[in-house]
Amino acid sequence: MSVDPEEKPSPPAPAGAGPWVREEEVEFSAIRAQGAGGQNVNKVSSAVHLRYRIADASLPDDLKERLLGLRDHRITADGVVVIKAQTQRSQEQNRQEALQRLQALIDSVAVAPKVRRPTRPTRGSRLRRLQDKSQRGQIKQQRSRPRDEAGH
């Protein structure tokens, strides 16, 4: 079995709970990084913009709904996730970092939130609350000035 040096290694198994992001669904564009970095930052387009259209993704529909329902600044009104990675010096490392951040975003909504069923307070907790209220009222009553016999 020969190994082709041009062939990319397959992505590692997903560490999170969500489905794995398919790289063919992700659009990358190289841009120049911002900030300090000397001449290198002005000449080399090492930063990466990742664009992931949620509607066209091969994710389950409930997961897409939860992603679109997130109030995250990285998700546009059109339902496109935009991630900018520029911390690494090489474009490939920034590309991997952007993919990892996208995967983390998808993993964060992979598990459906538990439905909260409202409960009623127990009889004991209601009694304790009323006792605490009356005790607190007595403490406050003791702080006031004593009234004289005539009621003035």
Encode pLDDT of 76-86 as tens digits.
898 889 998 88
Q: Indicate whether 15 belongs to any domain.
A: no
What is the domain range of residue 56?
23-108
The number of domains in the chain is 1
CATH number at residue 48: 3.30.160.20
At 37, the pLDDT band (50, 70, 90 cuts) reads low
pTM of the model: 0.61
**pLDDT tens string 96-149:** 999 999 999 888 888 888 899 999 999 999 999 999 999 999 999 999 887 776
Q: Indicate whether 101 belongs to any domain.
A: yes
d(CA 57, CA 50): 14
Q: Indicate whether 138 belongs to any domain.
A: no
Q: Indicate whether 29 belongs to any domain.
A: yes
SS3 25: helix
d(CA 139, CA 117): 37
How many CB atoms are closer than 10 A to CB 13?
6
Q: Indicate whether 14 belongs to any domain.
A: no
Please report, for residues 73, 121, 131, 134, 136, the alpha-carbon distance to residue 124 in angstroms, rounded to integers and kept in the order given.
Answer: 45, 8, 11, 15, 18
Give the chain's end-to-end CA distance (angstroms, integer).
104
Q: Indicate whether 36 belongs to any domain.
A: yes
Q: Indicate whether 145 belongs to any domain.
A: no
Q: Indicate whether 97 belongs to any domain.
A: yes
